[in-house]
Structure 1
Amino acid sequence: MPYWLMKSEPDEFSIEDLQKRQGARWDGVRNYQARNFLRAMTAGDEFFFYHSSCAVPGIAGIGRISRTAYPDPTALDEKSPYFDAKAGEASNPWSAVDVEFVEAFPQTLTLPQLKAEPLLAQMPLVRKGNRLSVMPVSAEEWATILALRPGRN
């Protein structure tokens, strides 16, 4: 099963928001490589929910893909900050997926903690220059992060 990491600014949409709603649309991705990763997801895939651009960036929990990629409606909504004037009903280049809540960590697994783990040294998240909002996570990286997560038994 493929694993993923998906970033969101918690003041826009957080793991707590997903937990309250139980499910949501993951939209607004406007990078072609990240969009292609969305399109590669299948229902049942799990992802780490990463809080970015905040006081304590890091992995805040786990979610699951509940619906595979479909055209992102925010690209067509002129009132949306993700509106794309070049997109149209027949030619929308952007995708969204639906996600559901799995688990919130009792505290964030911080980026410095992730960077300190040698087994994660090749993970794109911890390498300089990688700012993608959606990225794959290997099975080994997934297992390593699960072992590091706060509150594990």
Structure 2
Amino acid sequence: MYWLYKTEPEECSIDDFANNPTKPIVWEGVRNYQARNFLRAAALDDLVLIYHSSCKLIGLAGIARVVKTAYPDPSQFQPDSIYFDARSSATQPRWFAVELIFVQKFPSVVPLDKLKRSSKLEQLALVQKGSRLSVMPVQPDEWQVMLAMATKE
């Protein structure tokens, strides 16, 4: 399966993955139930498009791979964390994390405008008006279209 995960580059960017390509990064802090459910559905070795948002250069930045599937997000239990959730418990966690590892950094960011102009991506949740999910599935044909955009110079 394929996925798209949104991140603010100041928090976690494709460069964080590329600078330490063998070290898994914990993808934590997802606090939307639908996005959480998608995160829990990620399987070992699924590929993930890393999408930079809330920054100067918004768009697809690279690819990571799932190396550890969903487990309780440790930040929900840490009172000093911005992701702390007092309603979560070890026996009934509400939020989950996965671990990703670097696969590829694109030569340049594929901008959202370019993705929106592709008729082949009209059904992609990312380009839908009002879609704000930080974790979303990507269909195989959509994956191929975005990968082609990213690798063309």
Normalised TM-score (structure 1)? 0.96
What SS class does the counterpart of residue 19 from structure 2 fall into?
helix
The amino acid of 2:102's aligned partner reads F
The residue type equivalent to 1:131 in the other structure is R
Aligned: 1:130 with 2:135: no
Alignment-derived partner of residue 13 in structure 1: 12
Unaligned runs of 5+ in 2: none
Q: Distance in 1 between matches of 2:111 and 2:151?
A: 10
Query: Is 1:84 the counterpart of 2:95 in the alignment?
Result: no
Aligned equivalent of 2:103: 102
Which consecutive unaligned segments of at least 5 residues does structure 1 have? none
Separation (CA, whole Å) in 2 of partners of 1:116 and 1:56: 17
User: How far apart are 1:124 and its partner, in Å?
Assistant: 0.6
Does the residue aligned with 1:54 lie in a helix, a strand or coil?
coil
The whole-number CA distance in structure 1 between the counterparts of 2:151 and 2:2 is: 19
For 1:96 and 1:90, the matched residues in 2 are separated by 16
CA RMSD of aligned residues (A): 1.0
- Mean CA deviation greater in 13-22 or 106-115: 13-22
Aligned to 1:142, the other structure's residue is in SS state helix
Please state whether the residue corresponding to 1:65 is helix, strand or coil. strand
Q: Once the 2 structures are TM-superposed, how far is the Cα of residue 21 of structure 1 from its aligned partner?
A: 2.8
Instruction: Give deviations 1:10-58, integer Å, cap 9, x for gaps.
Output: 0111000111233210000000100000111111000100000001110
Alpha-carbon distance between aligned partners in 2 of 1:74 and 1:20, rounded to the nearest angstrom? 23
- Partners of 1:51 and 1:150 lie apart in 2 by 17
TM-score normalised over the length of structure 2 = 0.96
Partner SS for 1:149: helix
Residue pair 1:37, 1:134 contacting (<8 A) in 2 also: yes
The answer to whether the 8 A contact 1:109-1:150 is kept is no
CA distance in 2, matches of 1:149, 1:5: 14
Q: For residue 106 of structure 1, report the CA deviation from its aligned partner.
A: 1.4
